[in-house]
Amino acid sequence: MKVRRQSRGAYLVISGLLCVLLGLATSMCGSDSEEEGASTRGGLTLLLVDDPIDTVTSLNVTIESIEVHGNGPPRELTLNEDVDQPVNILELENGIFATLVDGSENELPPGTYGNLKIHISSADITFDDPPEEDATPATVPPDKFNVGGPFTISEGEITELYLVFQANNALHETVNGEYIIHPSLKLVSKTVSGSVTGFVWPPPGESEKELTRVKVLANRGTDNEVSTFANPDGSFELVPLREGTHAISAEWITLELEGDEVKACQVYVHGDEDVVAEQVTNIGTVTLPGDALECS
């Protein structure tokens, strides 16, 4: 499920020409100027992506509403009708995203905004440890989730932001065996971030284990870690990565179905890679040495 739509800027409409031609009073033209100012806007696009979680094959959430706060009263954004609800968050990795909010349909006054508030009305999860066919309902707190900014809307331009749903920190099990979804969400501007692509070898599809994944990680400090599971052919894309130097690493994660046990193998550190904003950095093939495949 990938919805890509070309962004279109908002155009300024000059309505004062009639005043000039007719030579009307300055005060009358001033009234039109206020209307002109109201139409001078920018747009906001939100691209939903995932930071994945082990042992879960689906995490479906229904996003009820999104509000933008700051620079005046709160404003509710129009959700993109092309995005199927509920959204399976775990499908949004390796460069796949969902356009939750389309900037051409969401105009905002220029200025700096503080945060977003997101209302998730329902959620369910499906585990592969042990494997399940039916989804397990998860409780969602009634309060709206706060996503900190700030971000800026400029006149006549579309601001594109990645909304990163950190699924690896979202799922919490209670003492009663029930599950609560409390996602950690963050905003990353598309103009200050890039991506890293490549392949891991051997790819997860070559494993003799029943369920094996290769997790690829980029780390620029504890608050900037982004991860993804490589595709069966070994390809991967880490996005969004803030501009700068990131340490790239990979590890096999093997799921032993008979013992209902997840075994994390040794982490193989590939090395540092420089990420440039709005560019894709291809690092080629990351070859995992033999000892990296030995799971504890």
3-state SS, residue 91: helix
Asked if 122 and 238 sit in the same domain, the reply is: no
Asked if 201 and 134 sit in the same domain, the reply is: no
Between 24 and 1, the more confident residue is 1
Q: Give me the pLDDT at residue 158, please.
A: 95
Asked if 199 and 154 sit in the same domain, the reply is: no
Q: Give me the pLDDT at residue 149, please.
A: 86
Query: What's the distance, CA 14 to chain centroid?
Result: 37
pLDDT tier, 4 (very low <50, low <70, confident <90, very high otherwise): very low
pLDDT digits (tens, 9 = 90+) for 248-296: 999 887 755 445 555 656 678 899 999 999 999 999 999 887 665 666 5
Domain final position from 182, 200, 219: 182
Mean pLDDT, rounded, for 56-61: 88
Instruction: Tell me the CATH number at 263.
Output: 2.60.40.1120
Domain final position from 150, 182, 214: 182
Number of structural domains in the chain: 2
Q: Does the residue 264 lie in any domain?
A: yes
Distance of alpha carbon 184 from alpha carbon 162, whole angstroms:
14
Asked if 223 and 202 sit in the same domain, the reply is: yes
Asked if 37 and 153 sit in the same domain, the reply is: yes
Q: Give me the pLDDT at residue 170, please.
A: 85
Distance of alpha carbon 229 from alpha carbon 258, whole angstroms:
23
Asked if 140 and 43 sit in the same domain, the reply is: yes
Q: Does the residue 187 lie in any domain?
A: no
Structure-token match 């996005």, residue found = 239
Asked if 108 and 235 sit in the same domain, the reply is: no
Distance of alpha carbon 197 from alpha carbon 281, whole angstroms:
6
Closest CA relative to residue 152, chosen from 187, 178, 127: 187
Between 153 and 290, the more confident residue is 153
DSSP 72: S
pLDDT digits (tens, 9 = 90+) for 102-129: 999 999 999 999 999 999 999 999 887 5
Is residue 165 within 8 Å of residue 180, measured between CB atoms? no
The one-letter amino acid code at 97 reads F
How many beta carbons lie within 10 A of that of residue 290, not counting itself? Answer: 6
Domain final position from 129, 160, 182: 182
Written as one string, the DSSP assignment of 167-235 is GGGTEEE-TTS-EEE--EEEEEEGGGEEEEEEEEES-GGG-SSSEEEEEEEEESSTT--EEEEPPTTSE
Distance of alpha carbon 66 from alpha carbon 114, whole angstroms:
14
pLDDT tier, 9 (very low <50, low <70, confident <90, very high otherwise): very low
How many beta carbons lie within 10 A of that of residue 90, not counting itself? Answer: 19
Distances (CA, A) of 282 to 32, 188, 271: 52, 21, 14
Q: Does the residue 110 lie in any domain?
A: yes
Asked if 43 and 139 sit in the same domain, the reply is: yes
Q: In whole numbers, what is the pLDDT of the chain averaged over residues?
A: 80
pLDDT digits (tens, 9 = 90+) for 11-44: 323 333 233 333 333 333 333 333 344 447 899 9
User: Which structural domain, as residue segments, surrounds residue 268?
Assistant: 192-296
My answer on whether omega of the bond before 131 falls inside 30° of 0, hence cis, is no
Residue 130 tokens read as 């042990």
Asked if 134 and 251 sit in the same domain, the reply is: no
Is residue 159 within 8 Å of residue 42, measured between CB atoms? yes
Residues pairing with 250 in the sheet: 216, 268
Q: Does the residue 75 lie in any domain?
A: yes
pLDDT digits (tens, 9 = 90+) for 182-219: 888 999 999 999 999 999 988 876 655 555 788 999 99
Q: Is the pLDDT assigned to residue 65 strictly greater than 50?
A: yes
Asked if 53 and 100 sit in the same domain, the reply is: yes
Percent of the chain with pLDDT strictly greater than 90: 50
Q: Is the pLDDT assigned to residue 135 strictly greater than 60?
A: yes
Asked if 30 and 80 sit in the same domain, the reply is: yes
Q: Does the residue 249 lie in any domain?
A: yes
Query: What's the distance, CA 66 to chain centroid?
Result: 14
Asked if 11 and 133 sit in the same domain, the reply is: yes
* Burial class (CB within 10 angstroms; exposed 0-12, middle 13-18, buried 19+) of 142: exposed
pLDDT tier, 96 (very low <50, low <70, confident <90, very high otherwise): very high
Q: Does the residue 105 lie in any domain?
A: yes
Distance of alpha carbon 120 from alpha carbon 163, whole angstroms:
14
Highest-scoring range by mean pLDDT, 169-173, 176-180, 187-191: 187-191
Distance of alpha carbon 241 from alpha carbon 229, whole angstroms:
16
